[in-house]
């Protein structure tokens, strides 16, 4: 499967906005320790980048909605508080639960959740929280007789800013955020990861960053923060879940801020089409990285080395083997050099031989154009594509069956399903070009 290409057919355009499914690594409490770390990882599936963000629901549309959850203890309510993005949890927020007698209070933890226990069945309750002076309330919901209920409250940077007075002049530059705070209070947090995996001889690289504002006030840089991709990188795109203040153009991603206190997610994907049998990839970043974490899929006898990685080990992840490395804090502007050796590499010699043979028989080929035999090759291609389609659909059905039966982890199911959907979109795109699409090709990812 090739990713980050720019296909022109309808099926490919439908796939441009597909989300990247990312399974976070879990991290040990000792930041610099790899021993026994559950340091894993992601399964990354790709859409195409011309439209960088998948059409996912606006988190604000989820705010205040309740969801009965059978696996919670009876009478339990959890209230999650986030800012702008589902991944941006707010800790230390006081949450109230009204409607079950006396008002109950709890404070969100590092996961952004406040929990209330022992709520009587049949009680009609609602949650209330105040963030940046703005009151948020959930819709009232009735407690079920079994299990619990989850709800979420989404604070927005736009909402907080709307309460401020506009700058004089009404329009133009005076309405832009004024520089505030110090960029030195920003860093790429320790939960950030650099991950890479192969598709044939294409290396797909993902920056899964959390930009952390370590102060209690928003920081607005005087100039944008610019992330330049390594030399040779192609198809740079922002992944679903990245901050809305980021934009990608060419091999550059620009983030304008403001950066609210806490975490601002930034997730970037790009590719190297062919690195040959060995390559040195050099990256530098505009902000310091608190703890360096890198994982590269290992194919065959491939090796990864870097002076910035003080610890390395090979770890099985799902059905693949990864080289996982960690290093100390990397200062802003300091180079991160990854030396990759014994890379999977397809020789181009067969291609050149095929071209030479094609040139030698071009006269005969022109003669065959006048006869029906010319369509045999196209028919074979279509048959092969139909076989790939049927195999992909069967795999998708089997995966869905495993999920319904509860035999597969939800995150792993989401990631694998996205891979199969992307592959099917590719097949349907090729069938469009061949003129051989059969009914049922629409809405593969539904």
pLDDT tens digits along 213-247: 998 888 988 889 999 999 999 999 999 889 999 99
Nearest to 346 by CA among 277, 281, 271: 277
Per-residue confidence (pLDDT) for residue 377, from 0 to 100: 66
Q: Are residues 203 and 325 in the same domain?
A: yes
As a whole number, the mean pLDDT across the chain is 77
Mean pLDDT of the region 119-144 = 90
How many domains does the chain divide into?
Answer: 3
Cα separation, 392 vs 402, whole angstroms: 15
Q: Extract the runs of DSSP E, i.e. beta strands, from 2-75.
A: 66-69
Q: Are residues 46 and 148 in the same domain?
A: no
Backbone angles phi, psi at 324, to 5 degrees: -110, 130
Q: Are residues 207 and 322 in the same domain?
A: yes
Cα separation, 444 vs 417, whole angstroms: 11
CATH assignment at residue 251: 2.60.40
Q: What's the order of all strands across the beta sheet hosting 278-283?
A: 278-283, 336-341, 303-305
Beta strand 113-116 with 66-69 is unpaired
Cα separation, 153 vs 249, whole angstroms: 33
Per-residue confidence (pLDDT) for residue 348, from 0 to 100: 58
Mean pLDDT of the region 210-214 = 93
pLDDT digits (tens, 9 = 90+) for 140-155: 999 999 999 999 999 8
Residue 27 pLDDT class (50, 70, 90 cuts)? very low
Range of the domain at 96: 63-158
pLDDT digits (tens, 9 = 90+) for 326-346: 999 999 999 999 999 988 766
Q: Are residues 244 and 370 in the same domain?
A: no
Whether 446 is covered by a domain: the verdict is no
Does residue 321 register a pLDDT over 80?
A: yes
pLDDT digits (tens, 9 = 90+) for 343-396: 876 655 665 677 777 777 776 666 566 655 555 666 777 888 888 889 889 988
Point out the domain boundary residue: 315, 341, 367: 341
Per-residue confidence (pLDDT) for residue 183, from 0 to 100: 86
């Amino acid at each position: 499967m090739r990713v980050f290409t720019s296909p022109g057919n309808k099926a490919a355009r439908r796939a441009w906005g597909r989300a990247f499914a990312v399974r976070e690594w879990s991290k040990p409490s000792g930041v610099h320790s790899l021993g026994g770390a559950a340091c894993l990882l992601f399964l990354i599936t790709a859409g195409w980048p011309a439209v960088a963000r998948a059409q996912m629901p606006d988190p604000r549309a989820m705010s205040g909605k309740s969801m009965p959850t059978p696996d919670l203890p009876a009478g339990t309510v959890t209230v999650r508080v986030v800012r702008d993005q589902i991944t941006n949890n707010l800790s230390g927020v006081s949450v109230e639960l009204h409607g079950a007698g006396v008002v109950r209070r709890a404070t969100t933890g590092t996961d952004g959740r406040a929990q209330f226990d022992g709520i009587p069945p049949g009680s009609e309750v609602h949650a209330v929280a105040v963030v940046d002076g703005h009151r948020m309330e959930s819709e009232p919901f009735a407690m079920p007789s079994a299990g619990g209920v989850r709800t979420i409250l989404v604070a927005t940077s736009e909402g907080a800013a709307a309460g401020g007075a506009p700058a004089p002049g009404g329009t133009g530059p005076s309405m832009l955020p004024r520089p505030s705070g110090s960029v030195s209070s920003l860093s790429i947090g320790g939960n950030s990861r650099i991950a890479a995996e192969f598709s044939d001889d294409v290396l797909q690289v993902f920056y899964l960053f959390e930009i952390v504002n370590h102060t209690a006030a928003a920081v607005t840089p005087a100039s944008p923060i610019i992330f330049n991709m390594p030399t040779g990188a192609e198809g740079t795109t922002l992944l679903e879940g990245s901050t809305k203040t980021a934009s990608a153009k060419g091999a550059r991603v620009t983030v304008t801020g403001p950066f609210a206190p806490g975490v601002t997610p930034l997730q970037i994907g790009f590719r190297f089409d062919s690195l040959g049998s060995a390559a040195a990839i050099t990256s530098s970043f505009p902000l310091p990285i608190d703890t360096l974490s890198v994982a590269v899929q290992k194919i065959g006898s491939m090796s990864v080395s870097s002076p910035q990685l003080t610890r390395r080990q090979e770890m099985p992840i799902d059905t693949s083997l990864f080289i996982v490395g960690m290093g100390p804090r990397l200062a802003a502007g300091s180079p991160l050099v990854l030396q990759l050796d014994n890379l999977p590499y397809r020789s181009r010699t067969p291609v050149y031989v095929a071209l030479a043979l094609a040139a030698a028989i071009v006269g005969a080929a022109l003669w065959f154009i006048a006869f029906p035999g010319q369509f045999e090759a196209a028919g074979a291609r279509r048959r092969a594509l139909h076989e790939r389609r049927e195999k992909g659909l069967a795999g998708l059905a089997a995966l869905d069956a495993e999920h319904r039966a509860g035999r597969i982890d939800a995150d792993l199911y989401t990631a694998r399903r996205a891979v199969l959907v992307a592959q099917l979109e590719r097949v349907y795109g090729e069938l469009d070009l061949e003129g051989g699409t059969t009914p049922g090709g629409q809405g593969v990812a539904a």
